Amino acid sequence: MSTEEESNPYELLKLESSATEGEIKSAYRKLSLKVHPDRNPNNPEAARLFHELNQAYELLLDPLRRLALDQKLRVKQAKKERYKAYDAKRKHMVEELEERERAAVKKARMGREEEVRVLSETERIKEEGRRLREMKQAKVDAVKVSVPVREEVEEDENVPPELSPLDTTIRLKWSLKKRPELTTPESIASLLSPFGGVDTEPIVLSLKAPKKSTSNKPKNGTALVPFKQIGDAYDAVCASGEAERGLEDVEVGWVNGKEPEILGWLKKMGKLGAPKPSSPPTPTTNAGTGFSSFPSTFPDLSSTPSLDTSS
C-alpha cells in the first residue's frame, strides 16, 4: 500500500485516525459493495478502486503498519501547522507596514505649512518601514530555512519509511525429499498457520527438478507467502529451520532477500519486540514468560516509552 498523498487509507475508507477495528471492517464492507467490479461493469476504474480499498483495509488491520502510517501522518500535519504559523506572521508584518504608510498619508493632508515637515517624516517612515520590512523578512526567511531544517533533521529519525505491499511476504525453500508433504498451497498455509493468518489463494508455489536431472520429478520446492500482518511474517522468518515451530528443513526469508525497511524503523523506535519463543520458558520467580512481536495499542511516539516485551 502506498502512503502517497492521493491514497491515504483513512480517506479511502472515510474513517478517522482513531477508528476501531470494528469500524474499519464495517466501512470496508459498505464501500466494497459500492465499488466492486461486478456491480460496476461499465466503470473502467472500478477494479483499481476496489484494489486500493482492499490494500487500505489490510494495512489498517495490521497494527505495526498502521502505527507507522499514523506517525507519518502526524509528522505531515505538524509541518502544515508550522508553515501556517509562518504565513500568519508574514501577513501581520505586511498589515503593520501598510498602517504606517496610511498614517504618513494622513499627515500629508494637514496643510501646506507642514508640507516640508510631513514629507520629511514620510520619507523617514518609508525608509524605516523598508528597513523594518527587510529585517523581518530576513528573520522569516531564517526561520523558514534554519528552524524547519533543524526540526526536520530531528523528525527524520521518527518518520517511517515508505510502506510496500511486499512488506508482509516471505519466501520458503525446502527439499521435497525431507518435506514431501509440502506440495500444495493448502499444505503451506497449514504449515504457517501457527504464526498468523495466511490465505491459500495468493500463495505462489513452485516445484522444480534440478536443471541437469534426467528425471522430471521435482526435488525442491519454493513458495511466496503473503501474511496478513507484518508481525506474523517476522515471527515466521525468525523461526526459519526450527523443528519446534514446525519448520525443520524449511528455509524462511524475506521475499526480496532482505528485511523490509519498516521493520528496522519499528525496532529503532522500540515498537517491535523479540520474536515469539519456540517453546514455553521454564517458570521462575522472575516476571516475563514470553514476548510479543507487536504492540497491543498505538501510543504517540513522542511520549510513549519503548514497548515492554513481557506478556
Q: pLDDT in tens for each of the 311 residues of the chain?
A: 443 455 799 999 999 999 999 999 999 999 999 989 998 989 888 899 999 999 999 999 999 999 999 999 999 889 888 888 777 777 777 778 888 877 776 765 655 666 667 677 777 888 888 888 888 888 777 766 555 555 555 556 678 888 888 888 999 999 998 999 999 999 999 999 999 888 778 899 988 877 776 677 888 899 999 998 888 999 999 999 999 999 999 999 998 888 898 888 888 888 776 666 655 444 444 444 344 444 444 444 444 444 444 43
Sign of the alpha-carbon dihedral angle for 194, 197, 201, 207: negative
pLDDT of residue 251: 94
Largest CA distance in the chain: 115
Please compute Rg for the chain using Cα positions. 30
Measure the CA–CA gap between 61 and 63, rounded to whole angstroms: 6
Element housing 225 (H / E): strand 220-226
pLDDT of residue 146: 55
pTM of the model: 0.60
The C-alpha cell 499514523 sits at: 70
Cell readout for 276 is 515469539
Cell readout for 236 is 515466521
- The answer to whether residues 64 and 1 touch, using CB atoms and an 8 Å cutoff, is no
Phi, psi for residue 299 in degrees, rounded to 5: -70, 160
Question: What pairing do the DSSP bridges indicate for beta strands 250-254 and 204-208?
Answer: unpaired
pLDDT of residue 274: 64
Crossing angle between the packed helical segments 63-108 and 261-268, to the nearest 10 degrees: 80
Measure the CA–CA gap between 53 and 163, rounded to whole angstroms: 16
Measure the CA–CA gap between 235 and 198, rounded to whole angstroms: 13
CA 283 to chain centre: 38
The end-to-end CA distance of the chain, in Å, is 30
